[in-house]
Amino acid sequence: MLRFATETDKGHVRKINEDSLLAAPKLGLWVLADGVGGNQSGEIASKMACGYMLNEVARGTPLQQALFNSHKAIQVASENDRNLDGMATTIVACHIDQSVYQISWVGDSRGYIWNGSFLQQLTRDHSYIEQLVEEEKISRLEAATHPYRHVLLHALGSGDVDLLRVDTVSGSLSDGDVVLLCSDGLTEEVNDEDIARILESELDLRDKAHCLLETSKNNGGRDNISIILIQYGGN
């Protein structure tokens, strides 16, 4: 059995919410997208991404290929409307079939798994700062406050499809495991230790999602904040 909860909020600073969420439990599909681009085009890109992913997975397209197809569709829409020029979005998508999960992503929206005692980040940001950390040019601590920490190397709708990086991880869920998908509006304000503390609490799943959102807002809420929690089995 799968249960899920979602939260999204524009935060305290941004005028609009450019994040979009999709929950399609009958397909075993959840998608979170964080739009980028001026003139509200980021909001449009993230909504398009969720819609395209729903259509692709519904027709049986594998998750990773669905992201590539969505990338191309967003590019076509941008080319056909100059008001949408430059629109793009991050994306993290999770597909669950029985106990097997698959997560594919582009950009810096993240996927985690909580097993009741440990929070594991499954994704790696497609960002300039993450690249510097992997190359051991800066520390993880330095990355948290680096002025270029929001610079993306890959985003859906941006750049040639042949150069787009879509990464995928998969594994098996155990009873009670929780998958967390989130935009950087959460992880910029709430560290992994505090995320784990909330997930470990006795709150029900919906209240855990809301607590994550409110903690992010209380810590600054400088960006849009979006959260999806998916629990496999459990009470």
Place domain 2-232 in its CATH homologous superfamily. Answer: PPM-type phosphatase domain (3.60.40.10)
Q: Specify the pLDDT at position 38.
A: 62
Strand order in the sheet with 2-9: 2-9, 225-232, 178-182, 110-114, 119-121
Evaluate whether 11 touches 214 at the Cβ level (below 8 Å). Answer: no
Cα–Cα distance for residue pair 34/187, rounded to 1 Å: 13
Amino acid at 203: L
Q: Which of 28, 30, 210, 212 is nearest to 20 (CA)?
A: 30
Helix axes 192-200, 205-218, angle to 10 degrees: 150
**Gap between the Cα atoms of 166 and 26, Å rounded:** 24
pLDDT of amino acid 35:
96
Choose among 193, 196, 190, 195: nearest CA to 221.
190
Helix 63-80 and helix 41-58, axial crossing angle in degrees, nearest 10 = 140
Cα separation, 208 vs 5, in Å, equals 9
Q: How far apart are CA 92 and CA 111, in angstroms?
A: 7
| Per-residue pLDDT tens listing for the chain (235 residues) | 999 999 999 999 999 999 999 999 999 999 999 999 766 799 999 999 999 999 999 999 999 999 999 999 999 999 999 888 889 999 999 999 999 999 999 999 999 999 999 999 999 999 988 888 888 888 888 887 888 888 899 999 998 888 999 999 999 999 999 999 999 999 999 999 999 999 999 999 999 999 999 999 999 999 999 999 999 997 6
Which pLDDT score is estimated for 135? 82
pLDDT confidence of residue 209: 99
| CB-count burial class (<10 Å; 0-12, 13-18, 19+) for 231 | buried
Domain ranges (residues) in the chain: 2-232
| Residues 78 and 56 sit within 8 Å (Cβ to Cβ) | no
